[in-house]
Structure 1
Amino acid sequence: MENKRNHENHLEGKIALVTGGTKGIGKAIANRLMQAGAKVIVTARTQSGEANPAYHFIAADLSDPEDVIKIANEINELFGGVDILVNNMGANTSPGGGFSTLKDEHWDEALQVNLLSSVRLDRALLPKMLEQKSGVIIHISSTSSRFPIWESTMAYSVAKAALNTYSKTLSDEVASHGIRVVTVSPGLNKTAAIAAFLEDLARNANITVEEMTGKLFERLGGVPMGRMAEPEETAELVYFLVSQRASYITGANYIIDGGNFPVA
């Protein structure tokens, strides 16, 4: 019984920040880290639903450099830094239709939300990790970074591909200082965001959501497991990667997509 308790609480004493942690994959990650004993800080533009008293919530827009500084200052003042940083913030906000529909502002927003928000937060919180010579940074990317759909994810896919390269480069720089940096690339997860995305595509194509879901699976080359992931399944991978069990893992990009990706 004692061994089981220690196993379940092995993140006890760790401070973790999860961005975009009020819904979807981010919420599932925050819940899983808390279950493992971590003190969890969650940031998002607004609190979604009822506030969870188990978390320390910071309202912030990570595409705003001043808000990133505000987050770092509050965390350093209250907690002395973080041991675990999960950069989960990201969204496909650009219109579909390919290159001709994407204006400069669409490209800029995609890069701000999906790349630069993580770059800024890493830069703000890494100094404390470097001081303590330990820490884990997880960047939540997407299989879209390597398997883009020009009709609907062009800017998003490009930004996530840049995040992958940045994450690998950062891991090389800080590995010798005791800090691990890992990328997680989920495929389709059953979240409110993907539901809204499918509803929008279905409306534009004048077909049902079920039909559009089938077409999306076909467009992606099929999902051998035949379903989307539950956010909790993606969170379980993140939980493993931030734990001591993954102590020799850094610089890698873990794809979790039900077998969808077309190459090994």
Structure 2
Amino acid sequence: MSTTDRDRLDGRRALVTGGSKGAGKAIAARLRELGADVYVTARSMPEGYEFPDRFIAADTSTSEGTDLVARRMTDSGGVGILVHNVGGSSTPPGGFAVVTDQQWLTEVNLNFLGAVRLDRALLPAMVGSGSGVVVHVTSIQHEMPLYEATLPYAAAKAALRTYSKGLANEVGPRGVRVNAVSPGGIQTEGYEGFVDRVADGKGLTRDEAKQDILDWLGGVPLGQFARTDEIADLVGFLVSDRASAIMGAEYVIDGGTVPTT
């Protein structure tokens, strides 16, 4: 098998959740470049979307949304590559005391249970065929939780990381590889929205809010957050045959943010 063949994903059907913007959009584009037949799901299809027949409008933080996506993918013949990229935080600043039960449930459903439900629906077919790859996009916040405005997000991503490792141990012997990618800060529209929330909540300018975020993280040695295409390149590698011996692993891509302990 040539080097090129080991990178290619020709003939494989992929699903990327949260694939309409940011890192998810970049991941979907990268998998297409490598030859995969890529389906994307998000809450709404962007205007002028290039692949409308490969887009599933659904809210995967709900049971109804994951059921819809699972039915669509099953009707299309199932998936061989599943990338759980969807995630985010809408928690207001203020620390643990201001977070309501509903906000906790919102974050857990979006960042953890959506992936659990889709895996439960789609992985049995992978196991039955003896092949498949799953990537859970978690966060360095499972290791470095930021309490001011994203504690529920951090806790949900910690749950996803633990679940991902256990799932890998279960399905790996049956031919399905499961790995996790844990980004630090990413240069996305979502990050810019988070900056706005911190600025508004703390009465800061946007530049001050960005510095505040870097201070929470203890600094980023690389000096900048990762680009979306860098996240996509890592995922493209992990779902390829080049990574055929990698299973149950976590790849941190954070510019050196997480310190050695």
Same fold per TM (> 0.5)? yes
User: TM-score normalized by structure 2?
Assistant: 0.95
Letter in 1 for 2:27: I
User: Are the aligned partners of 1:8 and 1:37 in contact in 2 as well (CA < 8 Å)?
Assistant: no
The structure, 1 or 2, with the larger RCO (C-alpha pairs under 8 Å, 6+ apart) is 2
Residue in structure 1 matched with residue 139 of structure 2 by the alignment:
142
Q: Is the 8 A contact 2:6 2:240 kept in 1?
A: no
Partner of 1:100: 97
- Percentage of identical aligned residues: 45
1:37-76 equivalences under 5 Å are 37-53=35-51, 56-76=54-74
Name the count of aligned residue pairs: 261
Secondary structure of the residue aligned to 1:147 is: coil
- Provide the C-alpha distance between the structure 2 equivalents of 1:103 and 1:54, rounded to a whole number of angstroms: 37
- 1:199 is paired with a residue whose SS is helix
User: Structure 1 residue aligned with 2:189, among 192, 209, 212?
Assistant: 192
Change (3 A) 1:211 1:185: same
1:44 Cα deviation after fit: 0.5
| Structure 2 alignment gaps of length 5 or more | none
Cα deviation for residue 244 of structure 1 reads 0.6
Structure 2 partner of 1:89: 86
Q: Structure 1 residues 151, 31: closer, same or farther in 2, change over 3 A? A: same
Residue 21 in structure 1 maps to residue 28 in structure 2: no
Deviates more, 1:55-64 or 1:169-178: 55-64
Over the residues paired in the alignment, what is the CA RMSD in angstroms?
Answer: 1.8
CA distance in 2 between counterparts of 1:70 and 1:113 reads: 16
Question: Is residue 160 of structure 2 the alignment partner of residue 163 of structure 1?
Answer: yes
TM-score between both structures, scaled by the size of structure 1: 0.94
Give the conservation status (yes or no) of the 8 Å contact 1:13–1:38: yes
1:35 equivalent in structure 2: 33
Q: For structure 1, which segment, 25-34 or 41-50, has the greater mean C-alpha deviation from structure 2 after superposition?
A: 41-50
After superposition, give the CA deviation of every residue in 1:35-70 in whole Å (9 maximum; x if it has no partner). Answer: 000000000110123212286001111122122222
For residue 214 of structure 1, the aligned residue among 211, 215, 221 is 211
Is residue 8–residue 36 contact of structure 1 (8 Å, CA) maintained in 2?
no
